[in-house]
Amino acid sequence: MNKSVLIVFGGWLGHQPKEVSAVLAEAMQREQFRVEMRDSLEAFADTELLGRQSVIVPIWTMDNTITKEQCGGLLSAVRNGVGIAGCHGGMCDAFRNETEYQFMTGGQWVAHPGNDGRLYTVNIIDDNAITSSLSDFDVRTEKYYMHVDPAIRVHATTTFEDYEDAVMPVTWTKTYGKGRVFYTSLGHQANIVAMPQTLHMLTRGIRWAAGEWQTNIGLPFAQAYKRSPLR
């Protein structure tokens, strides 16, 4: 049976949630996934809907209106083995009052120090099913400075040269209970999601979160920092 993905989109329109969801829906259909889409957070309170998914993709930025039942339903589904995968603010600048949600995702956006829309380099620091065939690449878009969970396993980084040469994870995986978690900070709008490198990591990250490939991939956070170009 084909795997299934639930895409839930909404929130701040500046991140083009509808357009991003359409790009990802088409991409996952090409990967032979059954795609369901919802434009309401009530989807997270629907235990039957969540229970039949292999992976959930939230695309919902900066909205703090999620209810206890909605947030709890999402957390419970992932904790019990449904994967979660996403990008940019659609996953890691959402529900800012929900610290358990942030613990599940592995990070939260906090700033754009010295860089908001410049050309910057994404450094690929490992080679596995998610990053296979990718090499370092440049992108002109928002650069995310984030608070991150030291338990994440990192696949790509960037460097904030204007802020203490801080090395920041761009793409990572982790687990939450029985669920697999994938995230990339790329994806400000649909054109960035549709970039070949971004879409490659996203589609493969969604597949990984849905249960494909081994669970322990990527470099531990401290090791990833040492692997960065400036260290």
Strand partners, 6: 36, 56
Asked if residue 55 lies in contact with residue 83, where contact means CB atoms within 8 angstroms, the answer is yes
Domain count, the chain: 1
Tell me which residue range forms the domain holding 139.
4-227
**Residues near 60 by Cβ (< 8 Å), separated by ≥ 6?**
8, 9, 10, 11, 17, 41, 90, 94, 95
Closest among 204, 156, 172 to 55, alpha carbons compared = 204
CATH of the domain at 192: 3.40.50.880
Closest among 177, 7, 13, 1 to 87, alpha carbons compared = 7
Distance, in Å, from the CA atom of 231 to the CA atom of 228, rounded to the nearest integer, reads 6
pLDDT at 118: 86
User: What would the pLDDT profile of 57-116 be if each residue is shown by its tens digit?
Assistant: 999 998 888 999 999 999 999 999 999 999 999 999 999 999 999 999 999 999 998 777
User: What would the pLDDT profile of 27-43 be if each residue is shown by its tens digit?
Assistant: 999 999 999 999 999 99
Strand partners, 138: 121
